[in-house]
Amino acid sequence: MTLNSDVSYSNGTYISSLLTVIVSIGLFLFTNFVLASSCDLLDIDNMPSNWELPATAIDTDQVPQVSVDPEAPEDSPLPVYRLSDNTYMLFGNISLLDEKNRGFNANAGFIVTEQGVIVIDSLGTPTLGQRLINSIHCITDKPIKYLIVTHNHPDHAYGAAAFLNIEGITRIAHRGTIDYNHSETLETSVSYRREKLPKDMQSFKPLEADIYIETEPFGRKRIHLGQEVIDIYNTGKHHSYGDLLVHQVNRKILWISDLAFNQRTTYMGDGNSAQILKAQEWLLQTFPHASLMVPGHGSAQTPPFSMVTKTHDYVTRMRHAMREAVDEDISMIDAVQGIEFDDWKAVPFYELNQRANANFVYREMEKAYFDNFQPNN
Ligand SMILES: [Zn+2]
């Protein structure tokens, strides 16, 4: 009996072990199959037919048109461009948030080192953040060690929620992110996104970083990972509650975030237009040998970085025009209605942003006017 029962027990164990092995092999095959098939989306021949992608993400006139399928399997990647041997970019659509792009309207990127991965920006929703993580897993099995969020705007920062539970990750953001998290702007923008994309925003949480950059403007923090040396600069509050710029020192690649826009008109709504100009001038002076600049919107660019000079020119003209309007006592409404830059009219987002930018800069100039006003008493 004992023996039988032992035998029967051991038979049972044998059968259950065999079952475990079969199930494990099945799971292994299944997992690998799913992984392989979803990563296959990154193969040009297997891309969804509603992804229209430029052949390159560097110095191109074309813009991507990626439809984000809300029903896509959880582990689907987004299209990824290789910028250099270990540096990758996700090239966002140039459009407003809508049902088609589901918030994929800014760029993000990542750098693969022997010791792990550094991610720059997180895309516009937790779902997109997760798909960014999936894209990274398709390229490398190295762990994600850093997430650097260049600024608090939703299209760059709201995907950060997907990085919350990654073990061993260090999340880096500008100190201004804390102010943003306590602002009404956050509430308004979150409810707007929740209304438009309820499912994609389900797991949203405001970004809490492990390290906040709070150096003086143009001060830097350096991190090392593998052979990569990464400098993170505080470029001041030029575009948001606080903006960062990332320099891959060895490769001379600069992730300039929204310090200059490519293939679209700039947006000024937070930040400070004088600081934009200061930071752009600092950028060109400090990195005369940069090999590549990757903006937050539009394709990456090689020297001489016309997107920086063009955006600089746009902001300079806007400041002159609005300063003149304030000096000549022209009302805000007249000044804003009257401002046209003919050479920008064909550039995407001109219609949408021109008045808002003029309005923003007019108010800056008005404030400067009153701040400088010395009463004669
Ligand atoms: Zn942006």
302 CA to centre of ligand 1 in angstroms:
20
Look at the chain and report how many structural domains it folds into. 1
Per-residue model confidence as pLDDT tens digits over 283-302:
999 999 999 999 999 999 99
Residue 32 resides in a domain: yes
Closest by Cα among 79, 58, 75, 83 to 67: 79
31 CA to centre of ligand 1 in angstroms:
35
Residue 315 resides in a domain: no
Average pLDDT over residues 154-168: 97
Q: In Å, what is the CA distance from 271 to each residue of 52, 211, 361?
A: 33, 22, 10
**Helix, strand, coil percent values for the chain (each to nearest 5):** 40, 20, 40
29 CA to centre of ligand 1 in angstroms:
40
Alpha-carbon distance of 117 to 114, in angstroms, equals: 8
107 CA to centre of ligand 1 in angstroms:
8
261 CA to centre of ligand 1 in angstroms:
9
Measure the CA angle with vertex 287, ends 281 and 292; round to 5°: 105
Are the C-beta atoms of 93 and 66 separated by less than 8 Å? yes
Residue 317 resides in a domain: no
Average pLDDT over residues 45-71: 94
280 CA to centre of ligand 1 in angstroms:
16
Residue 194 resides in a domain: yes
Tell me: pLDDT of 44 over 60. Answer: yes
Alpha-carbon distance of 149 to 287, in angstroms, equals: 21
Closest by Cα among 117, 155, 154, 152 to 134: 117
Tell me: pLDDT of 259 over 70. Answer: yes
106 CA to centre of ligand 1 in angstroms:
6
Task: Report residues near ion ligand 1: CB below 5 Å.
Answer: 106, 153, 155, 258, 296
Residue 176 resides in a domain: yes
Residue 267 resides in a domain: no
Q: How high is the pLDDT of residue 46?
A: 87
Average pLDDT over residues 302-326: 98
| Cα dihedral 55, 103, 237, 234 in deg (nearest 10) | -50
Question: Which residue range is the domain that position 168 belongs to?
Answer: 3-262+292-305
Q: How high is the pLDDT of residue 38?
A: 85
Q: Say which CATH number the domain at 8 has.
A: 3.60.15.10
Closest by Cα among 216, 222, 322, 333 to 274: 322
248 CA to centre of ligand 1 in angstroms:
20
